[in-house]
Chains A and B, each alone.
Chain A
Amino acid sequence: MDRLEMAAGGLILAIGIALLVGALDFPLSLNGVPGPGFLPLIVAIGIIACGGTLVWRGVLSPPREGVRWPLMSGWARVGLMLVAMAASFWLMEPLGFIVVTAGFMAVMVYFLGERSWRIMTMVPVLSAVGLYVVFAVWLRVPLPKGIITFLG
């Protein structure tokens, strides 16, 4: 039994069922031609068919080999990256782009294993300022200034 295939197929199946329920809220046909619910219904049926096939294949197949899952330390780095990015989104507007970027880079560079003080200070500062110059100055993207409003 290939539990990974079953899990992935089950997730796809669930997405299909949710879409099917949602699609039924829209008219399938308007004045004799397909309406807003037509394609979502077809797509939902397709997703359910594919999800069902994958679950069924998972039941029949032997456990899958060759999936290279990371070690615990690898999962920790992946989790840290996701959490650090999520925190950056929360803090982007109150603290501003430069502070958040410098903080994100400092945290990530340190936790990914860098221990040189020179790199740990230079990389965050240069990347924050560099990206600010490219996007805010050159491309005129109104990046949040947050607590550094004096930048104008």
Chain B
Amino acid sequence: MEFLSHLGMGFGIALSPANLLFVTLGVVMGTLIGALPGIGPVAGIAILIPLTFGMNAISAMILMCGIYYGCMYGGTITSVLMNVPGESSTIMTCLDGYAMARKGRAGPALTIAAIASFVAGTFSVVMLTLLAPPIAEAALSFGPPEYFALMMLGLTCVSALTGDSAARGYGMAFIGLALATVGLDPMTGDPRFNFGNLELLDGVGFLPIAVGLFGIGTVLGMIDDTVKIEIMKTTLREMIITRKDLKDSTMPILRGTVIGFATGVLPGAGATIASFLAYATEKKLSKTPELFGTGIIQGVAAPEAANNGSTGGAMIPLLTLGIPGSSTTAVMLGALTLFNIQPGPLLFTKNVDFVWGLIASMYIGNVMLLVLNTAFVPAFVFILRVPYTILAPLIAIFCMVGVYSVNYSILDLWIMLVFGFIGYLAGKLDYPLAPLVLALVLGRPLEEALRQSMKMSQSDPTTFFTRPVSGVIMAMVIAVILWPQLKRFFPKAAAAQAQAEAH
């Protein structure tokens, strides 16, 4: 029950006026950003990282987490009112959410989404509270081979499961690893691939690449097309739901919550697959599956619970092992390293204030999200009316000043610009960005773990397979790599993956 006293202490930190302000600010900004079509949590966090530089690490992370789950809900607003998913995890919400809006029921769709987000978000934080300490404790015994194996698993899953081509995913991951090798060698201090440039001795900055790929890439995608979309209207009075709505949604919310959390823990799966699985499960269990897609509330409740449930799940590998399983948590990890905080098992013993303050703030953030998103949705809709002619250059200039503010380096700005165009083209050609960002963040620790392991074993590569924990994890890595060949033996799982990719 030690965790209860830690959680109590965490609430003491999270309830300080400054941190309460940051969690509120994070949730509001996250909802606004999520509501903008095309800008998801990863772009939102990447763009806003520079705003956190004046803060301490805990306040910065509280703000980023607020943005993370705020974005998850914000995407729902555009899905329901415009039939445009704010980000990929709300694609499934469009199906019934927009259909409900067309029937004049946008309000109940948004309210049930807020309730589902609250229930799932809170459940996932409770699970994080209960599961993270024992996982972190177990991970304390991990050595470099286990860490190498874990990082390989994260990278392999994200590369193989995001996008519709494993070769593209692996290619992007290898390019991310190549970028991570720029700068001083972590063991010998030899300069590598810096082309005589002193600024590159510290490596290629994480932020210019992340902001370029996700921020500038998104801006370019925003201005290359000028489709005008009708926005459905909603008022506060229309937000009230009936007792029947609540009854119909209860089980879908609970099932979506569990599916979302479990999927969120897995590297590479993430909120998008979670929302798809939750929707597919509800349709399968329903007595009237033909009504899905025509505007029924279960079709909104389940995927919304799933995508918010995944956020707490995704924080478990990040906080306990220091291994992000998605591009959003990879960006968070990159941001934390800017504050000299290294997530991992030691976080729970060395940075007790940080980790429990953060977890406590997530409970508060979920309550804020519920209040804000039931009472202030009409206000959030306002941002959808800001024309892209103003929004796009504003985001671009924000990215510029944000990246500049880290090192005051014009070279960082050029790197951001180049990767912005790469991010734009990658989006057009369906090349996933998550493996590149994850590999960039994990590249250096991966190399250190690899070389330390080889040093420990006197260059015997079987060390990764003969140690029990790393052996099991490496077996999983091999299974993921061989999945395209193995999936014929698992037709149901293969069909589910194919459908998820189709969406």
Contacts and interface: CB of A to CB of B under 8 A. Distances in A.
A5 B429 CA distance: 8
A112 B181 contact: no
A50 B170 contact: yes
A127 B394 contact: yes
B324 interface: no
A33 B454 contact: yes
A108 B408 CA distance: 24
A57 B167 contact: yes
Contact of A40 (B192, B413, B429, B446): B192
B454 A34 contact: yes
A143 interface: yes
Contacts of A85: 216, 396, 400, 413, 417, 420
A67 to B, nearest CB: 6
A140 interface: yes
B447 A46 contact: no
Given A33-B459, A53-B167, A92-B410, A78 B220 contact: yes
Contacts of A69: 428
8 contacts: A46-B174, A50-B174, A70-B225, A81-B393, A82-B421, A85-B420, A127-B394, A138-B54
A114 B389 contact: yes
Contacts of A57: 167
Contacts of B192: 22, 26, 36, 40
B185 interface: yes
A43 B174 contact: yes
Given A33-B454, A81-B220, A88 B51 contact: no
Nearest to B191: A36
Max chain B C-beta neighbours (<10 A), residue from A33, A46, A53:
A33
B251 interface: no
Interface string B415-427: 0010011001000
Interface string B395-420: 01110110011001010011001001
Contact of A142 (B53, B167, B390, B408): B408
Given A47-B178, A82-B421, A139-B53, 5 more contacts: A54-B167, A85-B417, A109-B389, A109-B390, A141-B404
Q: Is chain B's interface secondary structure helix, strand, loop, or mixed overall? A: helix
B171 to A, nearest CB: 4
Interface string A63-105: 0000111100011011001100110110011000100010011
Contact of B392 (A39, A92, A112): A112
B196 interface: no
A4 to B, nearest CB: 6
Interface in A10-38: 12, 15-16, 19, 22, 26, 29-30, 32-36, 38
Interface of B: 50-51, 53-54, 167-168, 170-171, 174-175, 177-178, 181, 185, 187-188, 190, 192-193, 216, 219-220, 223-226, 387-390, 392-394, 396-398, 400-401, 404-405, 408, 410, 413-414, 417, 420-421, 424, 428-429, 431, 446-447, 450-451, 454-455, 458-459
Contacts, number: 169
B486 to A, nearest CB: 19
Interface residues of A, number: 65
A140 B55 CA distance: 12
A60 interface: no
A68 B188 contact: no
Contacts of B401: 97, 101, 131, 135, 141, 143
B450 A39 contact: yes
Given A33-B451, A54-B168, A92-B410, A81 B392 contact: yes
Interface of A: 4, 8-9, 12, 15-16, 19, 22, 26, 29-30, 32-36, 38-40, 43-44, 46-47, 50-51, 53-54, 57, 67-70, 74-75, 77-78, 81-82, 85-86, 88-89, 92-93, 97, 101, 104-105, 108-109, 112-114, 119, 123, 127, 131, 134-135, 138-143
B347 to A, nearest CB: 26
A143 B177 CA distance: 32
B392 A38 contact: no
Nearest to B177: A43
A89 to B, nearest CB: 5
Contact of B410 (A33, A38, A89, A119): A89
A112 B219 CA distance: 12
A68 B430 CA distance: 11
A53 B174 CA distance: 14
A5 to B, nearest CB: 8
A101 B398 CA distance: 10
Given A43-B174, A81-B219, A89-B413, A141 B397 contact: no
A112 B174 contact: no
B225 A139 contact: no
A102 to B, nearest CB: 10
Max chain A C-beta neighbours (<10 A), residue from B168, B413, B420:
B168
A119 B171 contact: no
A137 to B, nearest CB: 11
Closest A-B pairs by Cβ, 10 of them = A50-B171, A108-B393, A70-B224, A74-B224, A112-B389, A141-B405, A36-B185, A46-B174, A47-B174, A114-B389
Given A40-B192, A68-B428, A78 B223 contact: yes
B168 A43 contact: no
Contacts of B390: 109, 114, 119, 123
Given A50-B174, A112-B223, A135-B401, A26 B54 contact: no
Nearest to B170: A50
A4 B165 CA distance: 14
B223 A101 contact: no
A44 B178 contact: yes
A138 B346 CA distance: 33
A38 B421 CA distance: 30
A109 B393 contact: yes
A85 B400 CA distance: 8
Given A8-B429, A22-B193, A81-B219, A15 B175 contact: yes
